Structure 1
Amino acid sequence: MDSKDLIKKVKEDKVKFLSLQFTDVLGAVKSVDMPIRHLEGVLEDGAWFDGSSVEGFARIQESDMRLKVDASTYAVLPWSGDGAKRARVFCDIFTPSGHPFPGDPRGALKRILKKLDEKGWKYNIGPEPEFFLFKGENGHGVHPAPHDTGGYFDFSSFDEAVVVRTALMDALDAMGLDVEVGHHEVALGQHEIDFRFADALKAADNVLTLKYTVKAIAAQHGLTASFMPKPVYGINGSGMHCHQSLFDTKSGNNLFFDAKDEARLSPLAYSFIAGQLEHARALAGVVAPTVNSYKRLVPGYEAPVYIGWAQQNRSALIRIPRYTEGRDKSVRAELRFPDPSCNPYIAFTAMLAAALDGIDKKMQAPKPLNNINLYHLNKEERTKLGVTELPGS
């Protein structure tokens, strides 16, 4: 969709206000609302804002910045109602001189994807953000009490959230996400809605769309959605496992697949994995960026603690899902320590940078930790296997 298409589309949809959205460095969605009558001017000149008031952007003496609309991200907000119908677009950030702002998280991801495009490759990601739904009592503030008593994959009278989850999936579908599954997760009040994998930029946009859609729809049902990695002590936390692969842009082939390899992984895939393992401790600060993130990354709750890779093994940092004959394009590497508190643009940028370093240097992946529950190993056993740990805070 280009600018002309966008102007036509907002008229067809009878949209009254357009939200121009971007994120700060921490991943919080920022938005400025604009009456549609000003759309043509904004598409031509951009929308100016104070960059010094946004976390991590600019100093006060150099604060003028400009938003440029990415028309391809247009979506109507299904909860806005007919009276004052709203839509949103994501924006890229530019300096007054017309250059892309180096500190724009979305711009950072675009830059590294451009380098990948020059190789003829495409970075696909399928994120799996988990979240909790909480309720308040008698009009008081929210407390960490899950609002249902369901468990993993439950569908019964105990899964009170099925109505809310259905509304969430409907809203996400309406906003253009290709929702694949929605289900109750392991902990009480915990849920997951997965959408089809996409190129990294689209996937990052989708993560943000999911997060604020979940919060909006939950609020309509008198609930509060939380994407904190570990909001409740003693139960599973919320991760954002990321299924990754590289595809050839011309042939459409999965560059991770090698039929002759026991794990069906190509040499390029092994180097990709090796790069992310090599830089795992540094990556932690980006993909698990909060103090609360490290309340999740502890043994016993299906969250990774130790640095290694394996086939099917969910105690490893990187898991290779089981290969199904004939599904070559499904071969992928699941990175398991990201959580939904991260900025997806920055997280995906760092994940790809680590992987490309492994590919460029032809790093060799260590031996797989198949059929080993890493949580049950003592320090001596881990040392013998060459297994190191993620940071603890």
Structure 2
Amino acid sequence: MNRQEEFVLRSIEERDIRFVRLWFTDVLGTLKSVAISPAELETAFSEGIGFDGSVIEGLARVNEADMLAKPDPTTFQVLPWRGESPGTARMFCDLHSTDGQPSLADPRHVLHRTLTKAADMGFTFYVHPEIEFFLFEQDGDGSRRVSNPPRPIDQGGYFDHLPQGTAHDFRRAAITMLESMGISVEFSHHEGAPGQNEIDLRYADAMSMADNIMTFRTVIKEVALEHGVYASFMPKPLADHPGSGMHTHVSLFEGDNNAFYEPGSRYQLSKVGRQFVAGMLRHAPELTAVTNQWVNSYKRLWGGGEAPAYVCWGRANRSAMVRIPLYKPNKGQATRVEIRTIDTAANPYLAYSVLLAAGLKGIEEGYELPEEAEDDVWALTDAERRALGIEALPRSLGRAIDAMERSNLVAETLGEHVFEFFLRNKRQEWEEYRSQVTPFELERLLPRL
């Protein structure tokens, strides 16, 4: 038993922890949980906890259903919303097959594999997400479900201060809970749509951040219920207002040095940084099914509200897919790039894997960064965008799946098992969505035809 495992066992005893929840995600990013008693934890560390992987999305086929979940002791945290004593703690798990090998279906393993490739090239990948979400009123029947149609809890806008408002109290409670779990928060504010909020997490390595995002979603939903409201990370729940994105600032470090920083270069962005951005741009269409994995994601991308629908980059250009922020132009360690496509409902392990893989491909192959988009890309005509060589992102999940299916990069990054399951699942979602007869069709066409 290593020192970290010993620390966990000692903490459990000292803090009167009665239940330990072991967390992991399926391929789609849904959080899974199994509770064990502290007496079982030593065995869990050494051997893992067995479960039936065949009943969880994408993990295993029926004839190879037995899987093991091994807790990562570095992720130990007490869950503050479960009461003070006796307490409940959680740890994220790495999934293994019964022969002890890492599961190729484990999204956490996919990210670990991609981070290892970056490490072999001398890089550590850091990310800083800006996470948007909506708060809605619950149904009046006491069911604690979101109202239908959804009713935002307020009519606030971007940076609005709403005295004694639910959103203000909610954000304060949520941030207090997140920080009690060791998740550092940088900013929080009301976003542009009614009931929409944003909380930005402080920079961390990509694996820690993916774990933090999964915890963040759980905390937000728990705190919302405590406040009598409902939190949703649906990308576009309101047709007439902007959707929720997860703009992510990324950088590569070589030891303590920011590999994206080069004093004197344009925007202080180094050759490595330019190649990284070029990689994300060149492979953007084939990554989109992973960074925007739901049919509703494309209503955010193509529904207005400043969502990035075109493959381009720019300095402080919020219409671009990739932006070069200049908040601290004289601080080299702060040099970074912002990816604006990814939405809040993505599986963070897979999304960060494909974004990193595309950037590393740009570095390996020496991709050239295209010309900067200086115009408001949304305001250009199709002909003007074509003349500038600006490509559109896929306009639907169906088109995104087609692009992903042709991608060697995404197949290699996700691995055969995750790649094939993800495509099959998303193809089924797209077909089910296309077969629906919508209220729009009934209202528009039924009286007329």
Considering the TM-score relative to the shorter chain, is it more than 0.5? yes
Q: For residues 57 and 156 of structure 1, what CA distance do their matches in structure 2 show?
A: 45
Q: For residues 83 and 74 of structure 1, what CA distance do their matches in structure 2 show?
A: 17
Q: Of residues 358, 361, 366 in structure 1, which corresponds to 2:362?
A: 358
Q: Which residue number corresponds to residue 235 of structure 1? A: 241
What fraction of aligned residue pairs are identical, expressed as a percent?
A: 43
Q: Is it true that 1:179 corresponds to 2:178 in the alignment?
A: no
Q: Is it true that 1:305 corresponds to 2:305 in the alignment?
A: no
Q: For residues 366 and 164 of structure 2, what CA distance do their matches in structure 1 show?
A: 51
Per-residue deviation, residues 130-189 of structure 1 (Å, max 9, x unmatched): 100111242254221101222111113274311111100000001110111111111110
Q: Do 1:304 and 1:316's aligned partners in 2 also have CA atoms closer than 8 Å?
A: yes
Q: Do 2:242 and 2:303's aligned partners in 1 also have CA atoms closer than 8 Å?
A: no
Q: Which residue number corresponds to residue 227 of structure 2? A: 221
Q: Is it true that 1:373 corresponds to 2:376 in the alignment?
A: yes
Aligned alpha-carbon RMSD (Å): 1.2
Segment drifting more, 324-333 vs 180-189: 324-333
Q: For residues 203 and 358 of structure 1, what CA distance do their matches in structure 2 show?
A: 23
Per-residue deviation, 1:324? 2.5
Q: Which residue number corresponds to residue 18 of structure 2? A: 16
Q: Which residue number corresponds to residue 31 of structure 2? A: 29
Q: For residues 264 and 337 of structure 1, what CA distance do their matches in structure 2 show?
A: 23
Q: Is it true that 1:69 corresponds to 2:71 in the alignment?
A: yes
Q: Which residue number corresponds to residue 173 of structure 2? A: 167
Q: Do 1:153 and 1:184's aligned partners in 2 also have CA atoms closer than 8 Å?
A: yes
Query: What letter corresponds to residue 117 of structure 1 in structure 2?
Result: A
Segment drifting more, 291-300 vs 322-331: 322-331
Instruction: Give matches, 1:250-289, under 5 Å.
Output: 252-289=256-293
Q: Is it true that 1:157 corresponds to 2:160 in the alignment?
A: no
Return 5+ residue gaps in structure 1 as ranges.
none
TM-score by length of 2: 0.85
Q: Which residue number corresponds to residue 323 of structure 2? A: 319
Secondary structure at 1:127 match in 2: strand
CA spacing shift, 1:323–1:267, aligned 2, 3 Å: farther
Q: For residues 116 and 302 of structure 2, what CA distance do their matches in structure 1 show?
A: 36
Secondary structure at 1:149 match in 2: coil
Q: For residues 168 and 16 of structure 1, what CA distance do their matches in structure 2 show?
A: 24
Query: What letter corresponds to residue 261 of structure 1 in structure 2?
Result: S
Q: Is it true that 1:206 corresponds to 2:209 in the alignment?
A: no
Instruction: Give matches, 1:111-122, under 5 Å.
Output: 111-122=113-124
Q: Do 2:173 and 2:223's aligned partners in 1 also have CA atoms closer than 8 Å?
A: yes
Q: Is it true that 1:334 corresponds to 2:338 in the alignment?
A: yes
Q: Which residue number corresponds to residue 45 of structure 2? A: 43
Q: For residues 364 and 119 of structure 2, what CA distance do their matches in structure 1 show?
A: 15
Segment drifting more, 72-81 vs 148-157: 148-157
Q: Do 1:66 and 1:96's aligned partners in 2 also have CA atoms closer than 8 Å?
A: yes
Q: Which residue number corresponds to residue 3 of structure 1? A: 5
Q: Is it true that 1:101 corresponds to 2:94 in the alignment?
A: no
Per-residue deviation, 1:227? 0.2
Q: For residues 280 and 214 of structure 1, what CA distance do their matches in structure 2 show?
A: 30
Segment drifting more, 57-66 vs 325-334: 325-334
Q: Do 2:178 and 2:216's aligned partners in 1 also have CA atoms closer than 8 Å?
A: yes
Per-residue deviation, 1:299? 5.4
Q: Do 1:299 and 1:305's aligned partners in 2 also have CA atoms closer than 8 Å?
A: no
Segment drifting more, 278-287 vs 7-16: 7-16
Q: Do 2:157 and 2:190's aligned partners in 1 also have CA atoms closer than 8 Å?
A: yes
Per-residue deviation, residues 194-230 of structure 1 (Å, max 9, x unmatched): 1111111011111111001100111111111100000
